Structure 1
């Protein structure tokens, strides 16, 4: 049997620069959020660990270590944090815009493949947060799996 010499495709997490890249991204991003007139009111009471938890969550979703799900929470817990927040699409779009601006400033990879996959996850995740923020109780089982996002397309149509 011959050895397979095809290069290993890195995860989005690896391509972005690993955990330090995500921790720096969300730290700098939340520096902007806390002074943003549209986002500050909804996040003014976030815990000091919020930045790190979000960095670990997104890093895990994009193929990083299971730091969030094994020591900080679960996807179920993340969903619960958005319940009854009544976020607006304008707030969601501002959140996304500030995060992408921060990624540019920090020079996260800007090749079309990475940015397409990264943006696709952020769009998908922020839209789920928007939907969940309108609910008063969770409609998912406690063991709902963590999302897992890669380089490809997510699949078929949304069935909410």
Structure 2
């Protein structure tokens, strides 16, 4: 497969509509989960949409989080500072998000899921580290992270 024909993770995932469905379903599960509900007790009504936009931007989609939502990577990290997240919470967050990915029909090919799990592991582990920091370790002008296909180089083609 030539590089010019390889879709972004954002496009392969189903773009913004699918990511918004993913985060809406995920946060509805979080609100019912005894381990995670306390963490998100005072979540803003538009939180799920903002997270979908953040993931979309990281996965190569349009900069909706930084332009439409007015966010930045440093602001996303700042939401975690001081939350004292635990490994148990991180693992439950990851499990619920992956279950939600199945439920909304995100692609289940090994290449996409490898990239998705890789990003979620990386991001959730950073969230735990940052949640135990006293100050935001990310500078205000830090670039948004970007995530791609990694070692596989693109989607599964039988």
**TM superposition score normalised by structure 1:** 0.90
Of 10, 14, 27, the residue aligned with 1:13 is: 10
Q: CA deviation at 1:152?
A: 1.1
Of 25, 28, 48, the residue aligned with 1:28 is: 25
Distance in 2, matches of 1:6 and 1:31, equals 37
Q: CA deviation at 1:139?
A: 2.1
Query: What runs of 5+ residues in structure 1 fail to find an aligned partner?
Result: 154-160
SS at match of 2:143: coil
**TM superposition score normalised by structure 2:** 0.91
- 1:77-136 per-position Cα deviation (integer Å, ceiling 9, x unaligned): 001110000000100010000000011111210000000001100100010001000011
SS at match of 2:142: coil
Name the residue aligned to 2:155.
none
Provide the aligned length of Structure 1 versus Structure 2: 149
Of residues 64-73 and 39-48 in structure 1, the stretch that sits farther from structure 2 once superposed is 64-73
1:1-160 residue pairs with structure 2 within 5 A?
8-72=5-69, 73-153=71-151
Which one has a bigger Cα radius of gyration?
1
Q: CA deviation at 1:69?
A: 1.1
After superposing on structure 2, the runs of 4+ consecutive aligned residues of structure 1 that deviate more than 3 Å are none
Query: What runs of 5+ residues in structure 2 fail to find an aligned partner?
Result: 152-158
Q: CA deviation at 1:6?
A: 7.0
